[in-house]
Amino acid sequence: MARLYILLVSALLALSACAAPPPPQLGSDGKPLPRVYRIAAGQTSEVQFRMLDSVNSLRQAAGQPPLTLDSALTAAAATHSRDMSVQNRPWHFGSDGSSPLDRVRRVGYSGSLVGETISETYETELQTLAAWMEQEGTRRVILSPEARKMGFSWLQEDGGKIWWTMILGT
């Protein structure tokens, strides 16, 4: 009897593993709600270098030189991501009226600012990069022939929203 019970439980477990995943939840507009992408505290370097490698692959395909990660530009990007979250809006000006140029000067960056790309999303860094590449202005910044350095950071709110900032410099 015990063997039959174990056999039935095993069969039920095997069948439940074959079940289709639940359908995505839909919002009031009928579109699927975003799934929250969580970035663990220990993943900072992993996420930054995954973005750097992806950007450099795109730049190589466009015949542009590779970028290196710059700590000063990354500090400016982190400050702006945090500030956008506080303001609850994605835009290029800080709550104190600062511009991207002001922010890179504040962190002591000695090169020239090429540009800044920002986003407010629940998507991964690679999905965000793909969205940036679809827009002419942000694509132009990412593929700029003058760019040599990249700063990249984010702030993820408790609810999962991510404020991404990428800054490129000479």
Question: How do residues 27-46 score in pLDDT, each as one tens digit?
Answer: 778 877 667 777 888 889 99
Selected from 3.40.50.970, 3.40.33.10, 3.40.50.300, 2.60.320.10, the CATH number assigned to the domain covering 42-167 reads 3.40.33.10
Helix (H) or strand (E) holding 50: helix 44-61
Cα–Cα distance between 67 and 147 in angstroms, integer?
Answer: 7
What pLDDT is recorded for position 8? 54
pLDDT of 64-79, one tens digit each?
999 999 999 999 999 9
What pLDDT is recorded for position 42? 87
Residue carrying structure tokens 């730049």: 59
How does DSSP assign 55-102, residue by residue? HHHHHHHTT----EE-HHHHHHHHHHHHHHHHHTS--SS-TTS--HHH
- Burial grade of 163 (CB within 10 A; 0-12, 13-18, 19 or more): buried
Tell me, yes or no, if the pTM score tops 0.85.
Answer: no
Cα–Cα distance between 28 and 22 in angstroms, integer?
Answer: 18
What pLDDT is recorded for position 31? 77
**Cα 37 versus chain centre, distance:** 10
Q: Within the chain, which residues score under 50 in pLDDT?
A: none
What pLDDT is recorded for position 2? 57
User: What order of strands is seen across the sheet that includes strand 68-69?
Assistant: 68-69, 149-156, 162-169, 113-121
What pLDDT is recorded for position 3? 63
Residue carrying structure tokens 């800044």: 116
